[in-house]
Chain A
Amino acid sequence: MRKFASIVAAGLLFSGVAMAKDVKIGVVLPLTGQIAAFGETSKKGLEIAYEKNHTLSNGDNIKLIYVDDRGDKVEAATAVKKLLNKDKVAVILGEVASSNSMAMAPIAEKNKTPMITHASTNPRVTKGKKYVTRACFIDPFQGAVMAKYALDNGMKKAVVVTDAKQDYSVGLSKAFKKAYTAGGGEIVKTVLINSGDKDFNAQVTAIKQANPDIIAFTGYYPEAALLVKQARDMGVKTPFIGADGVGFPELVEIAGKAAEGFMYTDHFNEAAATTPEAKEYVEAYHKKYNKAADSMGALAADAYGMILSAMEKCIKEGKASDDKECINTNLRNTKGYKGITGEITINENGDAVKSAVVNEVKDGKFIYKTTVNP
């Protein structure tokens, strides 16, 4: 039915009967550079969502304008300025890395343009901002889930591996430590890495000497894969637990057998996709890319869906679909949005309140373990 409606709408558009216009959404992603992998998978999900629906009920056509920021804060800030001043976008979607989103947020705020980040989980991204919203949960929640899961499984001594280059990882480590010690666990050591490192000999040696029950890894998958491989190669058998930054197929591809048993919290797991929205998305994703759907793409698709739903509400209120104030108000008031990654409600800070899943690598696949509600 929806398809039919959109065909009709498209027909009207071409016949020139309706006064439909283009509504632009600016998308800032790291499509090249060191964290390009996240940008690429986000874009894949976004494309699925876009193909499914890019026409509003009043016939307006959504246009996505992608800008690559090379994973760089400065470029991210310039990208936002370009989108606002040159392309005149109504909404900004992005970025992945919290550090880059933090460079973008003040500009969106100053220009009173709604910005939604699909995957930046550091609390400071939305802190004190009226126009910045996110489609994901924040690190204190995720860190608590990690800590609870480890403690529930009887792991009382942890080494925390922090990626000192990422706001995301530093924030998450703090959250984990707080929840873990509050729950009776002991942090025996904190080990630092930097994204882009490939040799973790020093860290593995340090971990080996500390001899923990669990290794809490708060960084991203390229480092996770190499670290777990090198740890296993050097005879370290301690289990790992990570967060949403590690849940990528490349973790298994790069680390191979060493990734077995790696646990992590995430926004989404294909296997836990029970709602019709999620099922439809997963199916479309498989068809288009012949790959398992990851959480970055699903989150980006949800962020896009939330924007569209906010725009629809504006149309219902009799306002223009690109009315920034209206879109922002509706985005910030999102309640029970049925997304691919679950039900999303935005709280007063602009953060999404939603459930997390815990997954584990088994036989090279991400096996769904449990869902943790906020």
Chain B
Amino acid sequence: MKKVIYLILTLAYLAFVYYAKDMFDAYTLSILSNIGIFAILALSYNLINGTTGQFSLEPNGFVAIGAYITALLLIPAETKLDMFALTDPAPIVLKMHADFLPALLIGGVAAAFVALLLSFPVFRVRGDYLAIVTLGFGFIIRILAINNPEYTNGAMGLNDIPSYADFTWIGTIALITFVTMLHIVYSKFGRGMKAIRDDEDAAIAMGLNTFKLKTFAFMTSAFFEGVGGGLLASFLTTITPDQFSFLLTFQLLIIIVLGGLGSMSGTLVATILVMGGMEWLRFLDEDMVIFGIHTGAHPGMRMVVFSILLILMMLFARRGLFGDKELPEIIEELKEKFKKSSK
């Protein structure tokens, strides 16, 4: 019974994703696509931060790697020659080329590979130090992108990236990410990851190879962040190193904490709330008429209100919206409560 419901939901979702471009205007589609990309990034970030409980701050680095590699694979060589303004592009940059899907996958694999290399030093430290080292990693990736113009066109970034990533692509990949993450969470690996989150020393005592598990979570997370980065690059058609500052990581962190660390469905809901909310709050920046008085435009007001909302939500919903539970479990709980109260 449950399986049938899920199947119908999935098909309905896919139909929505496929027909969305005929139903909405470009602005709505771009908001939906944005939500889709951030869902991919936040879901994969939640695997390492929420499920495995390794508080790290590096997704901006992995997203950047995926975005740059995908972009360089997609842009034709003539455009690269025209675009690289500081120095000539390196020969390998001119040579690399791939179709959209392989380009996305290569971007993801590259990010996962970097994650593998990185796991050796970073998992030597735990707790807050892990956060700091990974924050540093994200920072360094951005500085490297700025300072190696023969590969990245420096701080100006890449323009004219072919725009393959429409909402159909993004929505489909978001679904794949969601399903994959749920599979991992409910698998043997997922239970191991949760054990690490709850008590790493106990997990070691129980004979779990925590390093392997953490590395697996880290690499999976990095892979999807890389793919998400590739989608982002092709969706925006332009990228710069500054897009991948720690602000991106903060945004993702806000999403996963708001949704509930460890809850994949919570992350989805929070992505919609945060990304949609930021766009919706845009009216605050504009001139408003309240009782016939013009307030005047106050650029930045949107972010002020957003930050106040953020603080309030954290003060009153400390464990996020869903805690570490998934949506069906929450529904079950609510049903229970409802039954009790109706008795």
Contacts and interface: CB of A to CB of B under 8 A. Distances in A.
Interface in A75-128: 77-78, 81-82, 84-86, 99, 102-103, 106, 111
Nearest to B34: A78
B96 to A, nearest CB: 23
A9 to B, nearest CB: 21
B119 interface: no
Interface in A180-231: 194
B27 A85 contact: yes
B210 interface: no
A39 B285 CA distance: 14
A232 interface: no
A78 to B, nearest CB: 6
A164 interface: yes
Contact of A85 (B28, B34, B240, B303): B28
A32 interface: yes
A322 B179 CA distance: 48
A85 B25 contact: yes
Interface residues of A, number: 31
Contacts of A84: 26-27
Q: What's the dominant secondary structure at chain A's contact region?
A: helix
Nearest to A79: B282
Contact of A164 (B86, B237, B279, B287): B86
A307 interface: no
B297 A164 contact: no
A335 to B, nearest CB: 31
Q: What's the dominant secondary structure at chain B's contact region?
A: helix
A16 B142 CA distance: 58
Nearest to A78: B30
A174 B287 CA distance: 41
Interface stretch (B149-157, B192-200, B221-229, B305-313): B149-157
Contact of A32 (B26, B155, B303): B303
A310 B237 CA distance: 31
A31 interface: yes
A103 to B, nearest CB: 5
Contacts of A72: 242-243
B297 A66 contact: yes
Contact of B86 (A67, A78, A170): A170
A165 B243 contact: no
B286 A164 contact: no
A99 B286 contact: no
A65 interface: yes
A73 interface: yes
A60 interface: no
Contacts of A66: 285-287, 297, 299
A323 interface: no
A270 interface: no
A99 B156 contact: yes
A133 B60 CA distance: 35
Contacts of B159: 102-103
Interface string A20-38: 0000000000011000100
A165 B243 CA distance: 12
A66 B155 CA distance: 27
Contacts of B26: 81, 84-85, 111
24 contacts: A31-B285, A31-B297, A32-B303, A66-B287, A67-B282, A68-B300, A72-B242, A73-B236, A73-B238, A74-B243, A77-B238, A78-B27, A82-B27, A85-B25, A85-B27, A99-B240, A102-B238, A164-B149, A165-B146, A165-B155, A167-B85, A167-B156, A170-B156, A194-B155
Given A72-B243, A73-B238, 12 more contacts: A31-B285, A31-B299, A31-B300, A65-B286, A73-B240, A82-B282, A84-B27, A103-B237, A164-B86, A164-B156, A165-B242, A170-B85
The 7 lowest CB-CB distance pairs between A and B, nearest first, are A31-B299, A85-B27, A165-B155, A85-B25, A68-B299, A81-B27, A32-B300
